[in-house]
């Protein structure tokens, strides 16, 4: 039987706007196919062992400080996991910590774990609203979600965006990019939560993690929700 091991990083601190819904979506889409799924919650002080998928949700600056400090202990291991081909998904605050650093409005700059060649600086505005992204990573070529961040993220080197922003602000409200990918590491500002509204992206992650294609599921309800949000601002 196929098996997927998911590490849910710091859910007690980084789960703003129901980002745990991404774990539910991945788990259910495995169960519905008879794929065995194990979800390990990783908390402050816990060791991290090898997993197929690593997920980290979003959070306020305060929670990010505690997680950023803890993550430094696992930086080399998680970079090795990236280079081995493990799949990562970071949402908003989690995404920011996948980069080199996050400089909040006040206080110290938070070190990231450099899974992505990216950096984030808190901006003057808070970007809030629905986002529609045009992507060539999955089909259909749209991703939808909800953003709420003041951080402005800039990509460098071989780290490329998930796609182009059609509606909303995305990474920084300037270069029309949203999210990031390097190897099998993905980051996005899309809350919502992200994967239940983008089942095609959830399956893409699962297929990368399993190294095989998966049977299609009947996703009428999911795509009805997805399509209802395309180009919707609020």
Does the annotation mark 92 as catalytic? yes
Task: Give ∠ CA 149-154-160 in degrees, rounded to 5.
Answer: 110
Strand pairing class (87-91; 53-56): parallel
The piece of 2-10, 55-63, 159-167, 213-221 that touches ligand GLN (CB under 6 A) is: 55-63
Residues in contact with ligand GLN, shown as a per-residue x/- string from 81 to 110 under the rule CB under 6 A? -----------xx-----------------
The residue among 148 and 225 lying less far from ligand GLN, judged by its C-beta, is 148
Closer residue to ligand GLN (CB): 109 or 148:
148
Member of 59, 99, 161, 163 binding ligand GLN (CB under 6 A): 59
User: Which range in 26-34, 42-50, 65-73, 142-150 contacts ligand GLN by CB under 6 A?
Assistant: 142-150
For residues 163 and 177, give the distance between their C-alpha atoms in angstroms, rounded to a whole number.
6
Q: At 202, phi and psi to the nearest 5?
A: -60, -45
CB of 80 to ligand GLN, least distance (A): 26
Q: Which of 8, 30, 51, 92 is catalytic?
A: 92
As a whole number of Å, the CA-based R_g of the chain is: 16
Q: 171, exposed or middle or buried, with CB in 10 Å at 0-12, 13-18, 19+? A: buried
In the complex, residue closest to ligand GLN by CB: 58
Positive or negative CA dihedral for 96, 140, 22, 31? negative
Q: How far is the CB of 101 from ligand GLN (least distance, A)?
A: 13
- Residue choice 21, 58, 161, 168 for contact with ligand GLN (CB under 6 A): 58
- CB-nearer residue toward ligand GLN: 26 or 68: 68
Q: Which is nearer to ligand GLN, 58 or 163 (CB)?
A: 58
Residue from 89, 28, 82, 16 nearest 56 by CA: 89
Concatenated DSSP letters of 123-186: EEEEEEEEEEEE-SSSSSSEEEEEEEEEEEEEE-TT-B-SEEEEES-TTTSSS-EE-EEETTEE
Distance CA 3, CA 136 (A): 28
**Per-residue contact string for residues 147-186; x = within reach of ligand GLN by CB under 6 A:** -xxxx-----------------------------------
Interface residues toward ligand GLN, by CB under 6 A: 16, 58-61, 64, 92-93, 148-151
Catalytic residue ranges: 92, 191
């Amino acid at each position: 039987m196929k098996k997927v091991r998911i590490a849910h990083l710091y859910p007690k601190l980084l789960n703003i706007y129901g980002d745990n819904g991404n774990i539910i979506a991945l788990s259910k889409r495995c169960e519905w196919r008879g794929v065995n799924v194990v979800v390990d919650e990783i908390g402050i002080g816990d060791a991290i062992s090898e997993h197929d998928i690593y997920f980290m949700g979003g959070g306020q600056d305060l929670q990010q400080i505690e997680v950023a400090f803890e993550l430094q202990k696992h930086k080399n291991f998680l970079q090795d996991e990236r280079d081995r081909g493990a799949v990562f998904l970071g949402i908003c605050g989690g995404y920011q910590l996948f980069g080199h650093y996050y400089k909040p409005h006040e206080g110290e700059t938070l070190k990231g774990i450099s899974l992505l060649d990216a950096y984030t600086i808190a901006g003057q505005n808070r970007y809030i609203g629905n986002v529609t992204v045009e992507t060539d990573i999955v089909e259909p070529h749209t991703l939808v979600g909800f953003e709420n961040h003041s951080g402005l993220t800039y990509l460098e080197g071989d780290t490329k965006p998930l796609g182009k922003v059609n509606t909303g602000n995305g990474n920084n409200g300037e270069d029309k990019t949203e999210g990031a990918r390097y190897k099998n590491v993905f980051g996005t500002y899309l809350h919502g939560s992200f994967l239940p509204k983008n089942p095609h992206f959830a399956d893409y992650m699962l297929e990368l993690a399993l190294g095989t294609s998966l049977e299609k599921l009947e996703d009428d309800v999911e795509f009805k929700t997805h399509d209802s949000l395309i180009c919707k601002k609020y």
